Amino acid sequence: MSRLKMFASHPLALLLSGLLFSAALSPTPVYALFGAKAVPNPEWTSVAAHPDYLPPRYILGVGVAKSTKDQTKDRLTADQNAFVEIVRQISADVSSAITIETLEVQNGRVDSYWERASAGSKVRSSLSVNGLTIVDRHYDAKEKVYYALGMLDRRIAADPYMRQRDQIKSEFVSHQETAKQFEAEGNVFQAIFSLRDAYRAACRYQDVLPALQLVAGPAQQVLGIAPDPEAPSAADVLSSLSASLAGMRLQIERGNGQAFVHNRPLREPLAVKLTTGGDRMIPVEGVSVEFRFQLGSGSLLPMTKATDNQGLSSTLVQKVINPDGGSCAVSASLYFRELFDHGVHAGQWNSRIPATPMTVLFDLPKKKAPVGIEVLTVVANKSVFPGHPATTQGLLAARLAQAGFVPATNVDPERMNSKATPEAQLAMLGPNVNILVFGEITSDSVNDAMGMRVCNLGGSLKAFRVTDGKPLATLSFDRIRGFGVQDANAREDAYKKAGEDLAERLIEALLAAYE
């Protein structure tokens, strides 16, 4: 039992493989093919030439095997050596190197030998060669040497690669035409997907050419194989890709610069427009845009939305959360990750795809109170226990000033700190006051908890427009706790926390009232 495998490599990194051959079982008796009777050696045993198989279309190879006691093995060895010689000539066309291993062959009956010789002579690689045949044999009884004449028909070998080349070119042209159609319709991502298919086809086309040139060799002109001036070009596809990406624009359509009120929605949606074609501004449909808070936080619905037939994508800001900071910012981004290729030729394609998103930024300033709105803040202690309403009142006034409201002038809040009704309070205001904020706080007795004094507060707060007495805000709170070592400390801490709780909600309500 023996084994033969043939591998070829060349500068184009093609391995010669799939070496197929047919050697049909001849009806001629075996003794006549490799007979013991001495006959003159045919000319091809010394010079690999035959009048029926002329170059460059045909390649001939002579295989030689010394006689042993195993005739089946000897015959097979001669056949295989003929094939190896042809392989050497093919590989020489591209300066290849060949290494020879072994191929298992079942000894025994003649029909079993032919079956194994035709089915087993294959090597693993990406290149398969058809048209390889044993056309003549001879046995030199004097020298005890077996000869086999192998032949490769380059036309048969080249035919599958020519068909594959033409099929790939047809696919390339189809993908290019589809890309142009999508581009004209503004479906730029679909156009790029088709360009990606065209790029893959162009790369496959270039992969087929070395194999075709390898098997066709110097017979390319005879076989009608010539350079194609309209051959698929990966470089042309990459240029089209770059042009498509360069012509895309993402612009803010509306919603930028809206002033927000903490914890409230924006009145208008944030909208962007995606176009292609540069200055032609062709709307791009069906591309997802992602919206995200970059400064501040909040709620966006939806966070991702595809562009419509006008190239528009938008989101609603349902809530903005930024109680202490300044402006908020929302980004609208177009990501290109779905355009990447993951095939064997992805490198050049992916190098043209932007690694970072195309992004525009919506600036959302924090809303300020209208200029010149004076607010008088009055907080009364409605409890029988001593309290610190001035702490709550001062904190509310300071926070309102930070929001842009003006502390009331020519009015003494301490004089207003009474148990009078809001209507009575309004009657006591000066002419410049626009808003009265009137709060009432009730405290419980101070209790002890785990070695600390605890004060519980509850109450309400209302804001009125002075001109017509219209309520602008109505707030309430319950069980705000203050802690301290002494009763006074616990009460002061509770009144401070009440001011912090009320300030945020009061400012939100007043700013909303002036939208």
pLDDT in tens, 472-483: 889 888 888 899
User: Are 234 and 342 contained in the same domain?
Assistant: no
Q: What is the mean pLDDT of the chain?
A: 81
CATH number at residue 462: 3.40.50.10070
pLDDT reported for residue 92: 56
pLDDT tens-digit readout, 440-458: 888 877 888 888 899 888 9
Q: Omega before 55 cis (within 30°)?
A: no
In a domain, 369, yes or no: no
Domain shared by 153 and 11, yes or no: yes
Contact 297, 321 (CB under 8 A): yes
Give pLDDT, residue 422.
63
| CATH code of the domain containing 259 | 2.60.40.10
Q: Any bridge partners for residue 98, and if so which?
A: 8
Same domain as 164, residue 130: no
Q: Is residue 1 part of a domain?
A: no
65/147 Cα distance (integer angstroms): 7
Cβ–Cβ under 8 Å, residues 322 and 260: yes
Q: What is the pTM of this model?
A: 0.64
In a domain, 30, yes or no: yes
Whether 115 is in a domain gets the answer yes
DSSP character for 28? S
Res. 20: pLDDT tops 80: no
- pLDDT reading at 18 higher than 80: no
- Lowest-confidence segment of 4-18, 63-77, 376-390 by average pLDDT: 4-18
The 8-class DSSP code of residue 514 comes to T
CA triple 268-271-272, angle to 5 deg: 160
Residue 236, pLDDT score: 95
Span 370-391, mean pLDDT? 83
pLDDT (average), residues 151-170: 93
Number of domains the chain is built from: 4
Same domain, 347 and 398: no
Preceding omega of 56 cis (within 30 degrees of 0): yes
Q: Are residues 42 and 134 in the same domain?
A: yes
Residue 424 sits in the same domain as residue 470 = yes
Same domain, 124 and 13: yes
Q: Do 260 and 339 fall within a single domain? A: yes
The answer on 122 and 28 residing in a single domain is yes
Give the pLDDT of residue 200: 96
Burial class (CB in 10 A: 0-12, 13-18, 19+), 498: buried
Are 253 and 393 in a shared domain?
no
Residue 185 lies in a domain: yes
Q: Please say which residue of 157, 191, 217 terminates a domain.
A: 157
Query: What proportion of the chain, given as a percentage, has pLDDT over 90?
Result: 40
**Domain finish residue from 218, 246, 274:** 246
DSSP string, 449-497: ETTEEEEEEEEEEEEEETTT--EEEEEEEEEEEEEESSHHHHHHHHHHH
Q: What is the domain extent for residue 451?
A: 374-513
- For 400-418, the pLDDT digits (tens) are 888 888 887 655 555 555 5
Q: Write down which residue in 107, 127, 157 finishes a domain.
A: 157
DSSP string, 207-245: HHHHHHHHHHGGGTTTTT----TT---HHHHHHHHHHHH
Work out the angle between the directed axes of helices 389-402 and 487-513 (0-180°, nearest 10): 30
Assess if residue 437 is contained within a domain. Answer: yes
Residue 381 sits in the same domain as residue 506: yes
Residue 321 within a domain: yes
Is 191 in the same domain as 237?
A: yes
Amino acid occupying residue 113: Y
